[in-house]
Chains A and B, each alone.
Chain A
């Protein structure tokens, strides 16, 4: 593998530093929230990972289209990397959200639009990897991956609106756990700082992991090419 470019090495270090600062801001600088207590601090990382992951999934859909149009394998590598990092980030989002929900809503999970769509989206992208696993021809694997990301990126928003519709027609208030009532809060300026900084940090971390993953993707592609050549 080619030596890591200096820019990437710097980005690695910058990411870690930013994470440290974000941690400080979230855990110490931001004030404690009155109604929820300390668990609210989880929210800073929860929303940051959610946003970056969703943007990542959108980027994956776009690169899927670009791959089908250009047939250039590098877009396939970009697509896989985007999906993989977004999958990890979104899983973190779901877990952190669940941890936040437990003391606040008194339940680990609720089937409201956002959470259900989140679960469905995560499953779509896990299915994406299972699809890729099952195909040996690299060209076909890339094509099918692109097709599936495109299908997935249309289906997920429709799912969200479908469930939103569900909620509007049947306003079900599950005991004391109406999500729209509990869990919303206004942010003071210090909280806003922590929030925005976390958003920024996770975007940088995403790009750093993304770049590293793409490098690995190139390596994997090369190895696979050599293996196939050796088969012949």
Chain B
């Protein structure tokens, strides 16, 4: 452990400029690995997608989604769906790393640890966005609600970023515990509530054609949350994966 950090700090001292480039390279290598693996197996993606559709189906029976209520409730239903499906994706994504020993391999590589974090976070974000991109038209089709609203898409992007940034960090911890699958939602949901509140409020605002003045504070909150937690995750990830 001591030799590992000494080695990487040595290499950073000797090659300062390429360090940034190698950071980006490493990050994208991890993203590419995840996407390529997922393209082949599609296991994460298909389970997230089917799960989302099932949740929407359940909501159909749980809530009276008649035309009037639909307007006010769509934002909430969508975000609940994304939150639950996101948990699945995050959990599996990190668990796969641990179980196949990939995480250990990555940690042994002379790469800045945070590159691993950003790589995983970006690939988790990509999966979540792809699932969302499929769920939106289906929801739109099933409930005759127009969801092709650029404002809505922006909110979904910002919200998903906040969710995956914190989720990746917490998932890295959760998979190292005995109670791994159950633990991630318990850890994640209380912490990610500001994202859910702001995302639902902003989404609802865009869908009902609310004025930008009302929506802006929520967008600001999302951006602030995203920035704060990217910084926190950057600082804390090392502590989560060190042996």
Q: Quick check: do A and B touch in the complex, using CB within 8 A?
A: yes
Q: Does B151 contact A (CB under 8 A)?
A: no
Complex contacts, A223 vs chain B, CB 8 Å: none
Residue of A nearest to B242 (CB): A143
B43 to chain A, nearest CB (A): 25
Find the residue from A146, A154, A162, A169 having the highest chain B CB count within 10 A: A162
Tally of A-B residue pairs with Cβ under 8 A? Answer: 90
Please determine whether A148 and B173 come into contact, CB atoms closer than 8 angstroms: yes
Known: A123-B190, A147-B173, A147-B239. A133 touches B228 (CB 8 A): no
Contacting residue for A68 out of B191, B229, B239, CB 8 A: B239
Please determine whether A162 and B197 come into contact, CB atoms closer than 8 angstroms: yes
Interface size class of A (residues with CB under 8 A): 20 to 34
* Count of chain B residues with a beta carbon within 8 Å of a chain A beta carbon: 35
A162 to B199, CA, bound (A): 11
Complex contacts, B221 vs chain A, CB 8 Å: 158, 161-162, 165
Q: Does B109 contact A (CB under 8 A)?
A: no
Residue of B nearest to A124 (CB): B190
A169 to B221, CA, bound (A): 14
A44 to B176, CA, bound (A): 43
Please determine whether A120 and B193 come into contact, CB atoms closer than 8 angstroms: yes
Return the CB mask of A141-160 against B: 1 if under 8 Å, else 0: 00110111011101100110
Majority secondary structure of chain A interface residues (helix, strand, loop or mixed): helix
Q: Does B69 contact A (CB under 8 A)?
A: no
A165 to B232, CA, bound (A): 23
Q: Does B57 contact A (CB under 8 A)?
A: no
Known: A143-B240, A162-B221, A165-B218. A155 touches B197 (CB 8 A): no
> Would you give 21 A-B contacts (Cβ < 8 Å), ordered by A?
A120-B190, A130-B187, A143-B239, A148-B170, A150-B232, A151-B166, A151-B169, A151-B229, A151-B232, A151-B236, A152-B190, A152-B191, A154-B229, A154-B232, A155-B193, A155-B194, A158-B228, A162-B194, A163-B197, A169-B214, A169-B217
